[in-house]
Amino acid sequence: MKITLLGPAHPYRGGIAEFSNRLALQLTGEDHNVDICTFKLQYPRFLFPGKTQYTDSAPPKNLRIRRLVNSVNPFNWIITGFRIRRERPDILLIRYWLPFMAPCLGTIARIAKRNRYQFTKVICIFDNVIPHEKRAGDQLFTRYFVRSIDGAVVMSQTVSDELDYFRKDFPVVLNPHPLFDNYGEKIKKDDALKQLNLDPGYSYLLFFGFIRAYKGLDLLLEALSDERLRSRKLKLIVAGEFYDDKASYTELIRKYNIGNNVIIFDRFVGNHEVPVFFSAADLVVQPYRSATQSGVTQIAWHYEVPMLVTDVGGLREIVTDMGSGYVVNPDPDDIASALNDFFDNNRKENFTKGVREGKERFSWHNMTAAITEVFLKTLLGQIIKSMGK
């Protein structure tokens, strides 16, 4: 099939862009004709909380990536929609993660699919339907976008339930977020610790990714103040850029007197460094207050690192409690108790085995099969509708 993937991709950084790149490679490897249509302006600078929107990684090989879309220019949306309409892809595959993008993506979708005989089917892969940080207009914008598509792939039951609130009359397939296997292979733990200049005499927890309130780093810092953990040779690595006020977290570190137990890498972690951080970790901790699914868990699955996640959103669907890690309440005491259990009872080996045995369900082929399933269901629905006229 001819597939146009619309969403963040290289040269933009972050998990969604990396997902687009990796998915396009998978589709190309399955003999589809694929191109990526990404942004020439994704966020206006004043709306972006990080230091830069761009990656310093080399562009992926064997991918056609066009920078066409301006997220805030309606004239651009119309031009891009007509351009895709003339190209007549079988599938316009859109990534949706934020209501801010709904007017842009929804307008392009509406125009692009109005080619002869409604040839192009618009399928969306949803990260979120309702965002973690809610703003006025979210539901209005999301409804506008949802009504522009023909079918959807969701990566957690939570997102499926949210989508059902907006629309029930189109095909939706649930398939979990695939492994992020595009950052390279795992390295020896001692080598990873040496590259990070960390003491091999300690065990290491990893909190990875940009820092925002809903990700619950404050809960983890409070958990580390637990007396049961203070006596251990244990350190927390915080690797990611602060999108919240960093001072509030450093104040918690001071308050709980855990400065010697927390190492902060306050920056965006480049692709080449991802294997280093995950190879250094004994346990990846995601103490989120809310979630849909997470790319961080899918990196951990690839590097076969056990995980502690909180029982929110779709995270409970990804990690098996006491199998591949822990699923606990978003509460400092519960987090501390699980961490204490992990080291007291030497769970790492058994949990790592559980991760290794369970990772096959997160293949990229399963994701492309889900996209194909939605496409075929949209065709069947169109045929049934035409026969009823």
- Residue 296 CA to residue 55 CA, distance in Å, equals 18
Structure confidence at residue 43 (pLDDT): 87
Residues 292 and 377 in one domain: no
Together in a domain, 369 and 357: no
CB 221 within 8 A of CB 262: yes
Pair 367, 357 in one domain:
no
CATH of the domain at 381: 3.40.50.2000
CA distance 300 to 118: 41
pLDDT under 70 in the chain at which residues?
116-117, 388-389
The answer on 245 and 104 residing in a single domain is no
Task: For residues 248 and 196, state if they share a domain.
Answer: yes
Residue 355's domain spans which residues? 189-361
> Quick check: is 183 in a domain?
no
> Are 383 and 259 within one domain?
no
Q: What is the pLDDT of residue 57?
A: 82
Q: Are residues 256 and 354 in the same domain?
A: yes
CA atoms of 208 and 185, how far apart (whole Å): 18
Assess whether 53 and 115 both reside in one domain.
yes
pLDDT of the residue at 116: 65
pTM score, whole prediction: 0.90
Closest CA to 91 of 366, 377, 364, 365: 377
